[in-house]
Structure 1
Amino acid sequence: MKVLVFGKSGQTATELRRQAEVTALGRDEADLTEPDACAALVRACDADVVINAAAYTAVDQAENDEVTADLVNGIAPAAIARAAADRGIPFVHISTDYVFSGAGAAPWRVEDPIGPLNAYGRSKLRGEQGVIAAGGRSAILRTSWMFSAHGKNFVKTMLRLSQMRDKIEVVEDQIGGPTPAADLAAALLQVGAALADGHAGGIYHFCGQPAVSWADFAREIFAQAGRRVTVTGIPTSAYPTPARRPLNSRMDCSALMRDFGIAAPDWKSGLAKVLQELDV
């Protein structure tokens, strides 16, 4: 199976390149701020599946730069999806739990009403809508709280802070599913292969289980890493950010198991593998 990947150095794109023979396009080859050029690459390719693993992920920065966030996360994926649909090539796209409002405590289902709280979430929602409107065979995987041994992520930030502090405050009223990038990459490849074999696709959720707070995630990182750091949980209100974050990022991943046989990953096991790779 020939796979064309938009993205090269990000967490998911890196894992895709490690797990399969793919053609990965970095920003120098495929700049998502130029949607038409990205679409042209799809029209000229001989891929069996196209995966979009590139995105504008600076959540706080997006509040003052929504035009760029929308271009990269909304307009470009739609253009790529239309080009893939024109060629009859299946398209797999990554989205986010941030398309939801974060209300309540129940895991979000695919069919639940959307209501993003911030510019990043709005831009990702526009991407979802554009991919669906393209009309081709596609799958959208909403994920959350991604981590790996590379790139910028919560795990690496906590490890860095543990070298400087023995006490740290971490938000405890935001609950979600940490997701190993390696497991997400494997799911994307499996879904892509199924689409190439004729699966109809749709919108799905894929995130780590069990759900946990950022504070408890930090505690598990320090426990597995053998770092003696005391974590004090604080409310979101005590850690203001330019972009509002959803309090409830839990997601129901049962549809992905039902349609593809892909189970939600155990993030604690994924964390152990990442720490081993980082030689912690």
Structure 2
Amino acid sequence: MNADFPTRASLIVTGAGGLLGREILRLAPHARGLGRSQVDITDRAAVEAILTPGAVVLNCAAYTAVDAAETDRDAAFAANATGPAVLAAACTATGARLIHVSTDYVFPGTASTPYEPDDPTGPATVYGQSKLAGERAVLDGCPDAQVVRTAWVYAGVEGDFVATMRRLERERDTVTVVNDQLGSPTSAIDLAAALLELADRPDAPRVLHATNSGTATWFDLAVAVFTELGADPARVLPCDSSAFPRPAPRPPYSVLSPRVWNDAGLTPMRPWRSALTDTLRRLSD
């Protein structure tokens, strides 16, 4: 993970109150962080008021309630499609550059080899459909924009999967976790560092994938969390997805290929297990 970040005075982070936005601001305290209460990204005038020529906008704002989106389609599309479209148009009008964070959910989740950025999309959920609409709006509306897809992001606090496993380790004798969904657990701080590096690479490809390397199931990740906490990993029990039916189906396969990212000369992201170790050690300190 590269710790040498630009001292860019015109770095703007939208969605700054979220899991990823907070980590970006922790690594780049010079950036201007804007949460929902500071700017409505669906309001063109409000967005243009915060932009200056040459600014780089890291858009981390999103509607991420995957299950709720199935019955709250309008809210999901407002945040994940309309907002990015407004940001793209405003960046083009003011001479700013946009880096937009997207998701593995734009793919159908039925592959058996890592998804490349130009592979066919086909989201199976309203959340994924809204995020794909946002990607297209960004790429169509801002010639200099870049889209970065990621997956399985955690910081270990406030309700993400790793945070939940930390809590359940304290509260329960055993936990049951699905073992038939495969992805790449991604540290929010590693992803933040990757996005900050990309902020100084306008020449990089327009669509990229950024996750920690390697693959795991949710069961594997839970076992790793218990192990790092010094708990007996046998307390984590595997099951298949049918044990936890959800309104929105989860992708069975969410592995994103790092090839385009690495070929662009951007710093390869480290293995997910090393990133998890560092995250949990930092939290324990």
Indicate the percent of aligned positions where both proteins have the same amino acid: 36
* 1:37 positional shift: 4.4
Residue correspondence of structure 1 range 81-92 to structure 2 within 5 A: 81-92=88-99
Cα gap change, 1:163/1:90 in structure 2, threshold over 3 Å: closer, same or farther? same
Which of 176, 182, 205 in structure 2 is aligned with 1:169?
176
Q: Determine the structure 2 residue equivalent to 1:214.
A: 218
Cα gap change, 1:203/1:113 in structure 2, threshold over 3 Å: closer, same or farther? same
Letter in 1 for 2:258: C
5+ residue gaps, structure 1: none
Which of 19, 24, 30 in structure 1 is aligned with 2:33?
24
Q: Does 1:232 align with 2:241?
A: no
1:210-232 deviations in Å (ceiling 9; x for gaps): 11100011001100111225222
Which of 46, 52, 61 in structure 2 is aligned with 1:45?
52
Cα distance in 2, alignment partners of residues 110 and 241 from structure 1: 27
Q: Secondary structure at the match of 1:59?
A: coil
* 1:166 positional shift: 2.0
Cα distance in 2, alignment partners of residues 30 and 152 from structure 1: 24
1:35/1:75 contact within 8 Å kept? no
Q: Does 1:7 align with 2:15?
A: yes
1:110-135 deviations in Å (ceiling 9; x for gaps): 11110001011001000000001113
1:55-92 deviations in Å (ceiling 9; x for gaps): 11111111110111100011111110111112222110
Q: Secondary structure at the match of 2:78?
A: helix
Cα distance in 1, alignment partners of residues 17 and 249 from structure 2: 27
Cα gap change, 1:256/1:93 in structure 2, threshold over 3 Å: closer, same or farther? same
Q: Does 1:94 align with 2:101?
A: yes
Cα distance in 2, alignment partners of residues 260 and 9 from structure 1: 30
Letter in 2 for 1:243: A
Cα RMSD, aligned residues only? 1.5
Cα distance in 1, alignment partners of residues 265 and 85 from structure 2: 24
TM-score calculated relative to the size of structure 1: 0.93
TM-score calculated relative to the size of structure 2: 0.92
Letter in 2 for 1:174: Q
Q: Determine the structure 1 residue equivalent to 2:259.
A: 254
* 1:26 positional shift: 1.1
Q: Secondary structure at the match of 1:249?
A: coil
Cα gap change, 1:124/1:61 in structure 2, threshold over 3 Å: closer, same or farther? same
Cα distance in 1, alignment partners of residues 270 and 101 from structure 2: 16
1:175/1:211 contact within 8 Å kept? yes
Cα distance in 2, alignment partners of residues 151 and 8 from structure 1: 15
Q: Determine the structure 2 residue equivalent to 1:68.
A: 75
1:60/1:241 contact within 8 Å kept? yes
Q: Which runs of 4+ in 1 moved over 4 A?
A: none
Q: Secondary structure at the match of 1:51?
A: strand
Q: Secondary structure at the match of 2:206?
A: strand
Cα distance in 2, alignment partners of residues 35 and 262 from structure 1: 35
1:92/1:139 contact within 8 Å kept? yes
Which of 224, 227, 231 in structure 2 is aligned with 1:223?
227
Letter in 1 for 2:65: A
Which of 142, 152, 168 in structure 2 is aligned with 1:145?
152
Residue correspondence of structure 1 range 105-116 to structure 2 within 5 A: 105-116=112-123
